[in-house]
Chains A and B, each alone.
Chain A
């Protein structure tokens, strides 16, 4: 298997609740893999497992040939994993550009003592980091916010800021947890465009999303979860016509919501 990220029989339970049960799938380099499913299906939990926030009770995760299940988020960041959060984890006490620069932290020379008495190279590197952060902000459509403070920005703008921060890490794999959650029509279209741009850069993406149009148009493969289990996996077309998937989302056939 030439998968960059390989999930094998991953499971986790919280008390009696089996949030994720025996999920396996693989993601190839440069691909976009969407994870969809009704609310409560375990999509965010799956993402939290992959990014080290939860430790699985069973199963294994392979990243670039290395076993990484249960490693802390900091360690995974070192190995090229980067993510955004469903309910926005932005540092509201810092400026927009500083938030993005945080994403690049591992690439800069750090250490308590290095900071106390800086060198010329360190300062040059920092300046370069700032330029690159500004460029990333332009990429995600936040050009007008480059001089803003995080506390002054709208929810939609902050969502895009998080993506810029995640990109600053130059990740091998980028995991986006419901980037369009809480956004209106216009903002959703804007963020879809951003994700398209990012995909064009060749970044490997795992995308948890409810917006079916985006998912179907952009994904190479789609994984459907329901009640913590893998319901289906395949190309967008295959998954769309899968009877079980339709059932899970819409209930019985004759109770179809005609507007969906």
Chain B
């Protein structure tokens, strides 16, 4: 396992990201690309928790919603500059994640699933109810992003920002996964007791991974909010949490590039399904069920395995 293969993938990603704008004919495609980049970054963070560390989170959209509304409210209602609102919201989300993580992570399997699910739904309900701050079920408008006093507008600029963040996070993640820490996380997934006996602080590490993925979701949620100019409680609901988990699972667990592929598919799919008036839910459900039945490890790991087998 030399360094080469690891950076090969990042190189491909970088090239794709750089060349893609030349293939995008109009604003609509840029919009999709930006959304893919944002979702992919969130998915990569979630994959660290779900794929590598082997935990379940069915409420991650809650962190995303907190990030979106936190930054949105601070800028719109309190007049904060977005450069301050985003990080402060991220820190707040991280703190909340830290507080709930330790007790929740003591739970296993479906109890963990229901606890994370509950967490996400509670946040969703609070956002929907506190209309005075959040605008309630109808949502609220969000100011545009301004970095260092300069307003960030225009699809190309946003694309550069979103894609840049994606490549940066992917690079960090690839490093982490190949470091002792990456092995430690996978060991937690493989056998917690073996990890503990080897000296790994399992409980502490699980918490840190949750906080990391929560902060990432929060930051990307905030960026997404400033990009769209509008947010609604739907961004933090159960279905959105499921979509995020699906990106990870369908793309490939324990695979950084898998998360990017999964995010791309799940972001593009609703656009494609829009043609099937009224059939979207059913087709989505079918695609979900069937793809996981035939490729339980996800797309990228399955393809990788087939490639290895054919070379052998």
Contacts and interface: CB of A to CB of B under 8 A. Distances in A.
A contacts B directly (C-beta below 8 A): yes
A102 B189 contact: no
Interface stretch (B61-69, B85-93, B191-199): B191-199
Nearest to A81: B197
Contacts of A117: 172, 175
B208 A77 contact: no
Interface string B1-25: 1010000000000000000000000
B197 A116 contact: no
B179 A114 contact: yes
B190 A91 contact: yes
A118 B199 contact: no
B166 interface: no
A114 B181 contact: yes
Contact of B180 (A78, A93, A94, A126): A126
A82 B183 CA distance: 18
A53 B193 contact: yes
B189 to A, nearest CB: 6
A122 interface: yes
Given A91-B190, A92-B190, A110-B179, A102 B198 contact: yes
Interface in A54-110: 72-74, 77-78, 82-83, 85, 89-94, 98, 101-103, 105-106, 108-110
Contact of B175 (A98, A103, A115): A115
Contacts of A116: 172-173, 175-176
B184 A102 contact: yes
Interface residues of A, number: 39
A112 B208 contact: yes
A111 interface: yes
Contacts of B202: 74
A129 B183 CA distance: 13
Contacts of B183: 94, 98, 101-102, 105
Contacts of A85: 193-194
B189 A73 contact: no
B106 to A, nearest CB: 14
Nearest to A91: B190
Nearest to B197: A73
Contacts of A111: 181
Contacts of B189: 91, 93
Contacts of A110: 179-181, 184
B200 to A, nearest CB: 6
B95 to A, nearest CB: 17
B179 A115 contact: yes
A169 B199 contact: yes
Contacts of B201: 74
A14 B64 CA distance: 45
A111 B208 CA distance: 10
Interface in A126-178: 126, 129-130, 165, 169
B182 interface: yes
A51 interface: yes
B199 A90 contact: no
A118 B199 CA distance: 21
Nearest to A112: B208
A111 B176 CA distance: 10
A102 B175 contact: no
B115 interface: no
B82 interface: no
B212 interface: yes
B46 interface: no
Nearest to A118: B175
Contacts of A103: 198
Contact of B181 (A51, A53, A115): A115
Given A74-B196, A82-B197, A114-B181, A91 B191 contact: yes
B66 to A, nearest CB: 21
Contacts of B196: 72-74, 77
B186 interface: yes
Contacts of A83: 197
Interface string A7-34: 0000000000000000000000000000
A126 B199 contact: no
Contact of B199 (A53, A105, A112, A114): A105
A118 B179 contact: yes
B187 A94 contact: yes
Interface in B128-182: 172-173, 175-176, 178-182
Given A92-B190, A105-B187, A116-B176, 12 more contacts: A73-B196, A89-B191, A89-B193, A91-B191, A91-B194, A94-B183, A102-B200, A109-B180, A112-B209, A114-B179, A115-B182, A116-B172
30 contacts: A53-B193, A72-B196, A73-B197, A77-B196, A78-B199, A82-B197, A89-B193, A91-B186, A91-B189, A91-B190, A91-B191, A91-B194, A93-B189, A94-B186, A102-B187, A105-B199, A105-B200, A110-B179, A110-B181, A111-B181, A112-B176, A112-B181, A112-B209, A115-B182, A116-B175, A117-B175, A118-B175, A123-B3, A165-B194, A169-B199
Q: Please name the 10 residue pairs, one residue from A and one from B, whose CB atoms are nearest each other, closest first.
A: A91-B190, A77-B199, A115-B181, A115-B179, A115-B176, A106-B199, A89-B194, A108-B180, A73-B196, A116-B172
